[in-house]
Amino acid sequence: YVIAILSANSVDKHWPKKELHSVLAREIAEGEVKLLTLVKEADEAIVAASLPLLSDKLYITYKDNPAEIADKVRALLNK
């Protein structure tokens, strides 16, 4: 799995976009979910507008709640 942590700052950079496109291509080729996306709550609208390829992907928003995020990621990985 790849855990992508996205914010308004990261979506403007070339390298994170390249990594996202790579893992999405792998998902398509293998037919399995490989991307777990965490989006900074305050930047949710900016991330959605900047990365339309992620529009049909589920994601977890985060603020200042690392224990809650860890529990959610753990639950997703144990499915």
**Using CA atoms, how far apart are residues 68 and 62, in angstroms rounded to an integer?**
9
pLDDT, position 77:
83
76 band by pLDDT with thresholds 50, 70 and 90: confident
Q: Is the dihedral of CA 45, 76, 27, 5 positive or negative?
A: positive
Q: Hey, where are the domains in the chain?
A: 2-77
pLDDT of residue 64: 83
pLDDT tens sequence across 15-71 = 988 999 999 999 999 999 889 899 998 999 999 999 888 888 888 888 888 898 899
Distances from the Cα of 12 to the Cα of 17, 33, 63, angstroms: 8, 24, 20
Give the pLDDT of residue 38.
Answer: 92
**pLDDT score of 72:** 87
